[in-house]
């Protein structure tokens, strides 16, 4: 293993190159969505670079990186748990980002909006309803859903995007009629 001299950026770069594949595999093994593995690996290397003066060269650099990655993933889980205070994240995101829909939602009783959404979801084909339920009620990710529904994770994400768009259109139509 190359010793880590805090002032030798070339040595740090070599260690990054040596450990990047293993770190990515470790992060994925922690249950991180495939699309986010590279971001968390990069963030891990940034933290390691910032704290390179604290690294004990007698220790294992890979183990040190995995500890940083484990802490970053734990922080993401805590953030995710705090975000769980919002009942329907995608709907809330949409309402927050779209002023006209937010204004419409303010004008409509929340019970009416919930009822409209429930009616629209009930009209979906059984497979689409099952996909929504597994994603948002059981909180299963695209990788898990891909095994259940025999589709690729990308096809799952595309299906969910289309289903959400259909439900959104249906809700807007129902609320506009009232």
- Spell out the per-residue pLDDT of the chain, length 178, in tens: 444 565 677 777 888 888 888 888 888 887 788 888 888 999 999 999 998 888 887 888 888 999 999 889 888 877 776 555 444 555 555 545 555 554 554 554 566 777 888 889 999 999 999 998 888 778 888 888 999 999 999 999 999 999 988 988 888 888 765 4
The separation between CA 67 and the C-alpha centre of its own chain, rounded to angstroms, equals: 21
- 3-state SS, residue 11: helix
Q: What is the C-alpha separation between 54 and 66, in angstroms, rounded? A: 15
Tokens of 168: 């959104």
Instruction: Indicate the CATH number for domain 89-177.
Output: 1.10.10.10
Instruction: Tell me the CA distances in angstroms from 83 to 4, 11, 30, 52, 94, one per residue in order.
Output: 38, 39, 20, 32, 15
Q: Which CATH number fits domain 9-83: 3.10.20.30, 3.30.465.10, 1.10.1740.10, 4.10.490.10?
A: 1.10.1740.10
Domain chopping of the chain, boundaries: 9-83, 89-177
Alpha-carbon Rg for the chain in angstroms: 22
Are 171 and 116 a contacting pair, CB within 8 Å? Answer: yes
What is the model's pTM? Answer: 0.46
pLDDT in the model for residue 151: 92
Domains 9-83 and 89-177 fall in the same CATH topology: no
pLDDT in the model for residue 93: 55
pLDDT in the model for residue 59: 85
């Amino acid at each position: 293993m190359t010793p880590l001299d805090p002032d030798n950026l070339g040595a740090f770069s070599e260690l990054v190159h040596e450990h990047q594949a293993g770190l990515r595999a470790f992060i994925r093994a922690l249950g991180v969505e495939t699309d986010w593995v590279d971001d968390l690996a990069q963030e891990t290397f940034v933290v390691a670079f910032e704290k390179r003066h604290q690294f004990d060269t007698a220790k294992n650099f890979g183990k040190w990186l995995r500890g940083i990655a484990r802490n970053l993933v734990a922080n993401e889980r805590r953030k995710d748990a705090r975000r769980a205070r919002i009942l329907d994240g995608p709907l809330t995101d949409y309402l927050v980002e779209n002023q006209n829909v937010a204004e419409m939602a303010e004008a409509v009783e929340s019970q009416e909006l919930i009822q409209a959404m429930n009616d629209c979801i009930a009209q979906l084909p059984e497979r689409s309803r099952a996909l929504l339920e597994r994603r948002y009620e059981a909180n299963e990710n695209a990788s898990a859903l891909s095994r259940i529904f025999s589709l690729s994770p990308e096809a799952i994400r595309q299906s969910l995007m289309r289903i959400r768009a259909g439900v959104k259109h249906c809700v807007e139509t129902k609320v506009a009629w009232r």
